[in-house]
Amino acid sequence: MDAIACTGLTRRFDTFTAVDSITLNVAPGQFFGFLGPNGAGKSTTIKMLTGLLEPTAGKIQVLGQDFHAGALDLKRQLGVVPEGMALLGRLTAPEYLHFVGQMYGLDPVTTKQRTEELLDFMNLANERKKLITDFSHGMQKKLALAAAVIHAPKVLFLDEPFEGVDAVAAGTLKSMLQGMIHRGATIFLTSHVLEIVERLCSHVAIIHKGRIVANDSLENLRSGVTMDGVSLHGEAGTRLTLEQIFLNVVGADQASPAQELSWLA
């Protein structure tokens, strides 16, 4: 049984197809990186997988059950950090975590205890009285991640969790996510920071123009796997970095002729 499985997942906005019949399988306990250039369809896919967006076509299964926006029991097993972070700006961090805990059905005592642990862990304990709206972007990201894990989800969806997060905080988040993987959780992550994906993820899929153009274990991708006729091989005998893989797969028609902006100093 896959932790996440989608078949023929499609989303159209009028005549524009943002996600075009993609099929993905993420095994339990996998740290899955979902990459792609801007506008490739990453966020649209993660929104469909978390119930924030209705697919035009296709089927989604999470933890072996059909997933749709009304699948409340299934949602209890999921943690999500969506694109907009889903924070309530006029609450303080403890108030927000307490609120989220209760929304996920945790009893007040457990919620309180986990709130304290998470605030401590995320280095937010000194910011107890500050409204979330006054937090820096990085602090908001940490809080959003804390809220996504307070109910100990089995599957975690993270949309750009490291965007705007400093190196120290990124280290904290990475260690937490790795800890979750060791405990058997599944993580589905989108990121532009290829180094982070390379270090954390065991499997990677690359989406380009709404279609999956690479999807395998990082190890296989590094050693050179052909997909849709695109060779991922680098120099003979060398192992590719994720950046090289990414550029090989999506770079061909992304690269524009070398130009200079004459008006820049």
Partner 1 sequence: MAGVSGTGVKASAQYRAVARIRWQILRNSLRRSRGQFELVARVITTLVFALTWGAVSIGLGFLAWQSALLGHLSILPLLLWPVLVLWQVTPIMLASFQENVDLSLLLRFPVRFRSYVLLYLVFGLFDLSSLMGSMVLIAIWLGLVIASPSLFWIATPALALFGLFNLLLTRMIFSWIDRWLAQRRTREFLGILVLFAVICLQLLNPAVHKHSALFGHLQQSAVFETVTRIQGFFPPGLAAAAIAHHHVEALVSIGTLVFYTLAAGALLSVRLHAEYRGESLGEASRLSVTTTAPRLPPVLASTAQPAAHAHVLAAIIRKELRYLSRSGVMLFSLVAPLVLVFIAGGSSLAQDRQALKYALPVAVAYCFLPLTRQVCNSLGGEGAGIQLYFISPTPIRTVMLAKNIIQVGLFALEVGLASIIMVYRFGQFPFGLVTVTLCWLLFALPLQLAVGNLLSITMAYRMTLTRLSREEGATGNGLVSLLVQLVTFGIGVGLYLCLNLMGQVRIVPAVLLALAICSFIAWRTLLSRVDTLAMDRRESLIATLVRPA
- Judged by the rule CB under 8 A, the positions of this chain that interact with partner 1 are 50-54, 69-70, 72-73, 75-78, 80, 82-91, 95, 98-100, 102-108, 110, 114, 117-118, 120-127, 129-131, 133-134, 136, 139, 147, 149-154, 171-172, 175-176, 179-180, 183, 263, 265
Nearer to partner 1, 69 or 252 (CB): 69
CB of 31 to partner 1, least distance (A): 15
Q: Answer yes or no: are the C-beta atoms of 131 and 91 closer than 8 Å.
A: yes
Tokens at 197, concatenated: 């994906």
Q: Answer yes or no: are the C-beta atoms of 20 and 48 closer than 8 Å.
A: no
Place of tokens 């380009």: 208
CB of 119 to partner 1, least distance (A): 9
CB of 132 to partner 1, least distance (A): 9
What percent helix, strand, coil does the chain show, rounded to 5? 35, 25, 40
Nearer to partner 1, 125 or 193 (CB): 125
Nearer to partner 1, 6 or 147 (CB): 147
Q: Answer yes or no: are the C-beta atoms of 45 and 9 closer than 8 Å.
A: yes
Q: Report the distance separating Cα 208 and Cα 49, nearest Å.
A: 18
CB of 79 to partner 1, least distance (A): 9
Of residues 95, 145, 136, the one with CA closest to residue 118: 145
CB of 180 to partner 1, least distance (A): 7
CB of 38 to partner 1, least distance (A): 16
Nearer to partner 1, 93 or 225 (CB): 93
Q: Report the distance separating Cα 60 and Cα 1, nearest Å.
A: 13
Nearer to partner 1, 152 or 247 (CB): 152
Place of tokens 């599957």: 155
Nearer to partner 1, 182 or 236 (CB): 182
The dihedral of CA 177, 171, 162, 112: what is its sign?
positive
Tokens at 101, concatenated: 């805990």
CB of 133 to partner 1, least distance (A): 7
Nearer to partner 1, 27 or 53 (CB): 53
Tokens at 42, concatenated: 């990453």
Q: What SS3 state is found at 65?
A: strand
